[in-house]
Every structure is written in structure tokens, then in C-alpha cells.
Amino acid sequence: MSPINNLSNTANGAASTAEGNSGATAFKVESPNVRYTDDSIESSYSYDTTIVSRDASSGQLKAKPTQVQYQFRTKTHVGRVGLMMVGWGGNNGSTLTASILANKKGISWETRKGTQTANYFGSLMMASTVKLGVDEQLKDVYVPFNQVVPMVHPNDVVIGGWDINSANIGDAMRRAQVLPVDLQRRVYDDLAQLKPLPSVYYPDFIAANQEERADNLIGGTKQEQLDHLRQDIRNFKQANGLDRVIIMWTANTERYADLLAGVNDTADNLLQAIADGHEEVSPSTLFAVASILEGAPFVNGSPQNTLVPGVIDLAERERSFVGGDDFKSGQTKIKSVLAEFLVNAGIKPLAITSYNHLGNNDGHNLSAPAQFRSKEISKSSVVDDMVGANNLLYKKGEHPDHTIVIKYVPSVGDSKRALDEYVSEIFMGGLNTISIYNTCEDSLLASPLIIDLFMMTELMTRVSYRTANDADWMPFHSVLSILSYMLKAPVVPPNTPVVNALAKQRMAMENILRAFVGLAPNNEMLLEHKAFH
């Protein structure tokens, strides 16, 4: 299997390989609180919060401004980074691989509307900006999101992975029917060289209709399979001279695994369950354990409960990163904006009905009840935090009617059709109905999210912090809740809040990166434009 990064120029004379710009930053901070060393950026940061309490006698709420002094250290050398996708031969995996190759080689292709050039639209990191500050004329200055702190560039990534299906990535791209034919033609020869590693297949965890794809398998016991996957990761790292590898699950949605005491509740029980070949250990959990034991961050792009308590316990013990669940790409992403807008505008959603149909293999797998249930769960929890934050509109425990429907219609392929209806109570008992029709290739929404998840996860492997209570530099918690913006059902450290509101998630990411370089949070108060002088 030759990773994307080692490919020669293609026969069609694509432009020379455009190495990325990993590690580039758009600015330097001039502050006594920020120190640039040969290999890191160190910042001293005052984290301001407000602690609220209630007076025991009067019942009055009290708000107390509070500061915690942090030090952050970001290693600035990115190094050689790899991405190993589980489900590499799927629509997302093949589309992403082809698209990164097209960007890397500066490939353009012909369409009905003229020449199209490769880009990274839809990626927060690669195609959005953040406000750095204001210039001397008090005009806003914006910089690329991926240049606030040194980040890996997708053009520099070495891509590999596994699939239960043996199709090479060129044929997988053709099978996916996502990308324009002229682009497919220009990248096919390169992609046809890329072959997914054999993977782990337990029929009980995905739809029976996937069985015919399963011709590229690792045999043996679960322990032998775990050891095999770990060796795969080590081989990939060594063969490509990588400093680190990120493992991304973009394989099919699995059914939920039962949470069983003594089986997957702790790290040791989970490792023993694998040794015992316990049937409730899913392929995705096996990949998560292999990744953690190899110190490779693992991100779950699907909705199933891969990150069982035993996985979290193991990740915490090994100080390895995990993240999930389920790429937040279309209907749910819009919902995490629209629901917040409505509730924060004092408008009360009464019913949110989300229907979609699609005809790709993901849709085929989701046509089975157990796999649909995993997706229904991840799509249903997205408004909980917004509703819970407004007790003026919703009594405790009150919730909008929220319905999720997914149908499989083969003829539409990857071009998902999503229809949403929001019925809300407005002023004086009025009703407002918002209807949305949203269609596009689903994989063109998800692929850029894989880039963002990969880039942010890689960054977090180079960041550490300490406070006055820490004797040494500490990594962030193993469960990367900073990834929430890209995920439908964010997994967070135990006993911490889940935030789904998209604006809050973006603000958190933006301001945490600003803190890494000693900059205060963006607050948009614009006092300089509101005062008399």
C-alpha cells in the first residue's frame, strides 16, 4: 500500500506536487506574556470566568468574577503526520483521498460551467477565517483559522487505512460516484495504487446487506486481530517515517454495543474481554483500543458508542486522545445553528422534523433498524443544551417533538435529500413554520470535516498546559471535547457539559487557539466603536 504522499506525478501531467504549508502562522504576538522559543510558543494566560452561587438566606444569585492563571506550550514543529482511515474505501474515505491528491497536485478539471480547481471549501480550518484584532484605523483584521497556531496542512498528510472491502481507492472513488468524472479521470491512476489493509469484520455489528463487501479480512481471535491492527499502525508509521498517526473511523455505522459490567466498563476488563474474545467488543472499539495502545489519537466519525467506558478509562490511563461521535455535516449542523437562533431569540420550537433519503452505501447500511437506531440517537441529542438553557420557554424536562427519518433510495446515490420542518411558538401564541430543503453529495460535506478533525487532533498532540497546581506540563484531557464543532454527538470528559450549539463550539475552538498564543477571547463588544472617543 503506497500512501498518497509518495506518489509520483501522474501521467496526465498534473501540476507539480504542491507541498502544504504545515506550521505556518499568520502573525507573531508582541506581549510580555508570550515567548517564542526554537521549538515552541509559550503563553501565560489569565482565564476569566464568573462563578455563580445562591445566597442561602435570601436565595439571591451571586456572581463572582474569577481568574485562573494558565501557561500553555505549543510545540511548533509539526513533523510528518499520517492519517489512517478505517473504512478507507468508502464514499468519504475515497472522496477525501482523491480531493487531497487533487489539491496537492493543483489539479483542475472541466465542468459544464468551465474549469474547476481543487479547494478545501467546507473545512473550518482551511477555508474560514478568524478575527485577529483591529488595525490602526480600527478596521477588523482576519487571518486563516489554520494560521493562528502552527497546524499540519492536509497537502502534507500521508494517507492509508483499512477496509473490509478489497477495492483499491481508485475503484472505490468510481464506485462512490461522488466526484466529477473528469476529476476522477485525472487522479484514478494514482489512487488505483492505494489498497486498503484487511480489516476486522463482525457481521452482527453492521447491516447484513454489507456482507457482500467483506472480502478483505483479518482472521484469528480478537486478541490476534488487536495485535495485527497495532502492528499495522507501527508498520505504517515506520514505512513512512512518521512522527505521529491519527486514526479516523469513517467505516459503517455499527449497532450500539451493550455496556456490560466486567466487560467494557474499565480498561482492564475491556482488555480481558478482548483476550477472551467477548462478542460485545465491536470492530470500532477494537480499533480504538489498538490506537490508544499505539499512542495514536482515535476519532469516531460514526454514531455508535465505540468509546465505551473501558475505552475512555484506557485512553486516560495511557494519556492518549480519543474523540467522537458522528461527523456533523448537514441536517444536524444546520439544526445546531437554527435551534440555537430560535431559542436565543425567545422563540419556542415545538416540533423539529428531520427527514432525509439517500442512496449511498451508508444509506444502505442505515436501512437496517439497529444501525439506524445508532444514527437516530446521535441526531436526536443535538438540541438538548439549547433547550435546557432557557427555562423561560421550556419547563424542566420539556422538549420539542423531535423526529428523525432516514430512508434508503438507491437511485439518488450520495446526493442526500434532506427536508426539515421547524414549527415554533412565537409572540402571543402565534405559530411560525420554517421548512428547509437541502441536497448535495453527503461525502462533500463530510470529507472536509475529516480534515478539520485530523488537523485539530494533531494540534492537540503538541499542546500542553500547566497551572499553579501542576508540578509539570500536562496534556489536555484524553477526551477531546474541543472537536465538538465537527461532531453530532460530542463525547466529552466524564461529568462535563455537552455543548451542541455551533456558534459556541466555534467560539470555544477559536478562543482556545487564541489563548495558546496569549490573546484574549474575541468578544465582539466593539467598545472602540461605541464610546464617544
Ligand X SMILES: O=P([O-])([O-])O[C@@H]1[C@@H](O)[C@H](O)[C@@H](O)[C@H](O)[C@@H]1O
Ligand Y SMILES: NC(=O)c1ccc[n+]([C@@H]2O[C@H](COP(=O)([O-])OP(=O)(O)OC[C@H]3O[C@@H](n4cnc5c(N)ncnc54)[C@H](O)[C@@H]3O)[C@@H](O)[C@H]2O)c1
Nearer to ligand X, 266 or 282 (CB): 282
Minimum Å distance from CB 528 to ligand X?
A: 39
Confirm if 302 and 253 have CB atoms less than 8 A apart: yes
Of 232, 313, 326, 362, which is the active-site residue? 326
178 binds ligand X (CB under 6 A): no
Catalytic residue list contains 488: yes
206 binds ligand Y (CB under 6 A): yes
Nearer to ligand X, 14 or 445 (CB): 445
- Quote the CA–CA distance of 127 and 459 in Å, as a whole number: 17
Residue 279 cell numbers, joined = 462478542
Strand bridging mode 322-323 / 298-300: parallel
- Quote the CA–CA distance of 35 and 68 in Å, as a whole number: 19
- Quote the CA–CA distance of 252 and 132 in Å, as a whole number: 39
- Binding segment for ligand X (CB under 6 A), chosen from 8-16, 131-139, 358-366, 478-486, is 358-366
Minimum Å distance from CB 284 to ligand Y?
A: 7
CB atoms within 10 A of CB 173: 28
Among 156, 163, 232, 458, binds ligand Y (CB under 6 A): 163
- Quote the CA–CA distance of 532 and 164 in Å, as a whole number: 66
Nearer to ligand X, 366 or 501 (CB): 366
Strand bridging mode 415-425 / 431-441: antiparallel
Out of ligand X, ligand Y, none, what residue 406 binds, judged by CB under 5 to 8 A for its kind, is ligand X
Residues in 408-437 at the binding interface with ligand X, rule: CB under 6 A: 416, 418
Interface size with ligand X, residues (CB under 6 A): 16
Nearer to ligand X, 195 or 364 (CB): 364
| 205 SS3 class | helix
CB atoms within 10 A of CB 323: 29
Among 42, 340, 442, 452, binds ligand X (CB under 6 A): 442
Confirm if 263 and 289 have CB atoms less than 8 A apart: no
Among 190, 254, 340, 362, binds ligand X (CB under 6 A): 362
359 binds ligand X (CB under 6 A): no
Minimum Å distance from CB 406 to ligand X?
A: 4
Nearer to ligand X, 439 or 511 (CB): 439
Residues in 65-104 at the binding interface with ligand X, rule: CB under 6 A: none
Residues 6+ apart with CB under 8 A from 204: 255, 279
Binding mask 71-90 for ligand Y (x = CB under 6 A): ---------------xx-xx
Nearer to ligand Y, 155 or 284 (CB): 284
Residues 6+ apart with CB under 8 A from 242: 79, 80, 81, 82, 158, 236
From residue 50, alpha-carbon distances to 56, 347, 386, 388 in Å are 19, 27, 20, 19
- Quote the CA–CA distance of 449 and 444 in Å, as a whole number: 9
- Quote the CA–CA distance of 46 and 68 in Å, as a whole number: 6
Catalytic residue list contains 326: yes
Residue 210 cell numbers, joined = 454489507
Catalytic residue list contains 416: yes
Q: Which residues pair with 522 in a beta bridge?
A: none
Nearer to ligand X, 101 or 248 (CB): 248
Catalytic residue list contains 333: no
Give the distance, in angstroms, between the CA of residue 431 and the centroid of all CA atoms in the same chain. 35
Out of ligand Y, ligand X, none, what residue 87 binds, judged by CB under 5 to 8 A for its kind, is ligand Y
Residues lying near ligand X in the complex (CB under 6 A) are found at 328-332, 356, 358, 362-363, 366, 375, 379, 406, 416, 418, 442
Active site residue ranges: 326, 375, 416, 488
Residues lying near ligand Y in the complex (CB under 6 A) are found at 86-87, 89-92, 162-165, 199-201, 206, 213, 250-253, 283, 301-302, 326-327, 329, 360-362, 365, 442-443, 445-446
